[in-house]
Amino acid sequence: MDCLNSWLGDRVDMAFRCVNTGGDGGFKFFCEKDEDDSKQTDADTIRIGSFTLTPSEFYLYQGSAIDIYVSFNPEKEGKLEENLILACDNQTSEFYKLTGYGAMMDLDIIAVDNKEVNFKENPFETVYFENTNPTSENKRTIRVRNSSPILVPFHWSVYK
């Protein structure tokens, strides 16, 4: 169950359709680890790591469907995963993985004046402006890249 990407401190809500292609049955999600299961306080919701899943228990007639809602609210950067088990009252079960990526805004300077920047070999010298007099002008062209996994609309505002 891929919850895609979310900024740290923000939230993404996803709906996953669960269709019963077998016979009538009751279903319940469990955490893979017993210690995570013992922390659950709400009968209809599972809270594990950066994920909240609801409903955690449901009944489906043959051919019917239900939407499972997952909220992803990352508290740390990087790929986040949690494992769940969906058990059926016919003594079968399936493993599911909740995944998401916690993102921070990350811009990289990739070129200055159309020359690629390699900060390992040439740290910050390529970004600095030459000394100027108060009435002179100096111009540099800096190319930046959004290195975060989320597209960010932006515009430049120049103030005099």
41 shares its domain with 118? no
Domain span holding position 28? 2-103
- How many Cβ atoms from other residues are within 10 Å of residue 100's Cβ? 25
22 shares its domain with 34? yes
pLDDT tens-digit readout, 28-56: 998 888 888 888 888 899 999 999 999 99
56 shares its domain with 96? yes
99 shares its domain with 24? yes
By the 10 Å C-beta count (0-12 exposed, 13-18 middle, 19+ buried), 102 is classed as: buried
pLDDT tens-digit readout, 117-156: 776 666 666 566 677 778 877 777 878 888 888 887 777 7
**Average pLDDT value for residue range 100-115:** 84
Tell me if 27 is assigned to some domain.
yes
Tally of structural domains, the chain: 2
112 shares its domain with 129? yes
Asked if 52 and 100 touch (Cβ cutoff 8 Å), the reply is no
pLDDT tens-digit readout, 49-88: 999 999 999 999 999 999 999 999 999 999 999 999 999 9
Model pTM score: 0.72
75 shares its domain with 117? no
Q: What CATH number corresponds to the domain at position 46?
A: 2.60.40.10
Looking at residue 90, the DSSP 8-state letter turns out to be: T
56 shares its domain with 110? no
Tell me if 156 is assigned to some domain.
no
First vs last C-alpha separation in the chain: 49
